[in-house]
Structure 1
Amino acid sequence: MSSPGQAGPQPQYVRGRIVSSGTTLDDGVVAFEGDRIRYAGPASHFDPAGWHQVDLPAESLLLPGLIDTHCHGAYGGDFSSADEEGARRAAGFLHRSGTTTVVASAMAGSRDSMLAAVRLLGELSREGVLAGVHAEGPFLSQARRGAQNTEYLLAPDTGIAAGLVEAAGGHLVSMTYAPELVGADELVDLLTELGVTPSVGHTDADAATAAAALVRAADGLARAGLDRYRRRPLVTHLFNAMPPLHHRSPGAAAACLRAASAGRAAVELISDGIHLDPETVLTVFDLVGGANIVLVSDGMAATGLGDGGYELGANDVSVSGGVARVAASGALAGGTATLLDCVRGAVAAGVPLETAVSSASAVPAAALGLAEEAGTLSRGFRADLLVTTGDLALTAVLRGGRWLDPLPG
């Protein structure tokens, strides 16, 4: 037997407790050849002849590679900066931290800076370093801008949107927008026609406006034929950068919860213990179900590093005690946790392990149209796998059938 990190002969297999697709298999085997899983199931049904076993610690958990659909960077790299070396460094760190599929999020900025950022991120997506691009802006509410720079927030403009889609080379997978802004309906129609998933967020909309926007987005995705890939509208970091839910003014949050409960939308949650109280995380899982929740990190350049000063798009950010805030306003400025940290946070809040893992793997895979490619440990799927201890401490990462080098430090 060999250890993770050693090449070993092909094909290979690992044995442990499989947590995937909302279930647990106590004594399982995942066998892979090249970049594909060839077997995932009970050890008792697997014939090891001709396969090489990779030695793992006792009581190891085997999880699907995690999928982050909302991440601004890591390890000093900011995806909004159009810095190729920084973007590659960020993606490499995230891969080694267990996020084997990364969608890079670009903040609102000047037209030229956004075009340069999504162009680079699209090239890295074409190369396979990233899995797509998320534009968080620029069509966002000034009243709910959060860490976005007010100078660059615009009313919806289909010309600008089309330019971003073109610059990304077909790899723009989602765009956050505020549905109450004039021109939002035309924006949604364009995005869905071009295969981009609209995501309601950074919004001051009332419940009726948000509900109508989610219906329009769902109808547009259906007209484009994307619903057959389980694509549906998204909600950007539910509760953050939107009005708080009030019993006489329910706001967008209420409409988003109802849509998610009915399976007509998927809501993002940042379960890092900072953006949401753990009781809020557990309540949303109980109300709408894990199949309608996408765990995201909203991570930024400080992820994997210590406290200090960083950049997030056009903003200077100060990180203290692991909490990132815009230096000028004090607003929360993304997260410093990895997606695996967020899975741990959800489990600590009381969410069942199987559910939390699925909301960070199978559910986001469907949101990206990868429901038959990634996000679960199944025959024919991409060989993306995490090995962890029982308390989710990371032991090893397999991405595309290749064991990755250990994290720095």
Structure 2
Amino acid sequence: MSHKPTITDTLQFPADSKVPGALFGVGAVGLIATIIGYFLDADQFFFSYLVSFTFFSGIALSALIMVMLHHITKSSWGVVFRRISESFTANIWIWAIFVVPILFGIHNLYHWSHPELLEYGTEEYDKIVSGKSPFLNSTFFIIRQVIYFAIWGFLGYKLHKVSVQMDETNDWGLSALLRKVSAPGILLFAFTVAFAGFDWLMSLDPHWFSTMFGVYFFAINFQAFWPIMILIVFYLHKQGLLTNTIRQVHIYDLGAWFFAFTVFYAYIAFSQFLLIYYANLPEETLWYYHRMEGGWQYLLYGSLIFRFAVPFLVLLNREAKKNRMILGGMSALVLIIHFAEIYWIAMPTLYDHGFSFSWMDITAFLGLGGVFFGLFFRQFKQNDMIPKNDPKLEDCLSKSYHQ
């Protein structure tokens, strides 16, 4: 006789939790400190802001594609995690506000925005920048950001709203609507995330280009998404929440995905490097050359060792994917190196003479991170922590009984 699983945990995050307020407090202090930094060094302010903005935006975008993949594939393994991802995606339309400082800092961040580069016959004229000006211009850049966040914000809000409606109405027919939104949503996501990577990071050096950068941008963010999920689950368990719902087999699944996309990240990152190395074209190789000298090379080596080699070798063992201490340690390590890799991509544009680090890099991270996770926990505690009436929930819970 099969045993039908039942949920014995409370499904509500404590309504009186002070976590969102504390995070918003940290965010406010960090942002105020960073704004003060603007008046001391505007260029540093915008670059520090861009790195942290990209870091946290990547988490929300990875959560969005994960939700859509769950729906379109009708998968059951991750139903118990889906509300966590949905709580990230539901706030993308609010998070869009934080792209505004980047729009104000276009001239500080992006060399291509300087009009004198387009004036033929002048000393400042840049043929390459001029040739890319139909795409790389301030007006179109701003329009693209509006389009990106309009699409992401709609998808995230809609998928979360319908999922919550399913909880309230027990109408399984809504799962068809979720798939109908996700199918075109995945296509739109692929294009917009690739172009966002081009805009935010690749265009910092308008002379450089890589046809693989969009996939690379997705890969670095999606690998970092799994550590975030793992650490949130561990936090919930530490608070005594969902301990009988998210079980060991589900945590193993998170570890397995973490391992899989560690390999995927390495494959994409190395493929991009190898193609550029093999072609040996100056306009492509110089980007790597400048990031392999002046101290920047240590961040590159750090990514190779601590973002790929160490997690790969450690998580290769099946038992390691079940060990909470190992998973937690690897998650924290990869998130630190993820920030370092975004820093390695962006900052040599500002510090072309060698590695440098500013206190604003820390305050911007704490400021944006506090707001980002404050929004998450504020949203997370408003609804049940799992989609309790999802038709695939029983299969997800049954898996933990039979393994």
Larger radius of gyration: 2
- Structure with the bigger RCO (C-alpha within 8 Å, sep 6+) is 2
TM over 0.5: no
More strand by share: 1
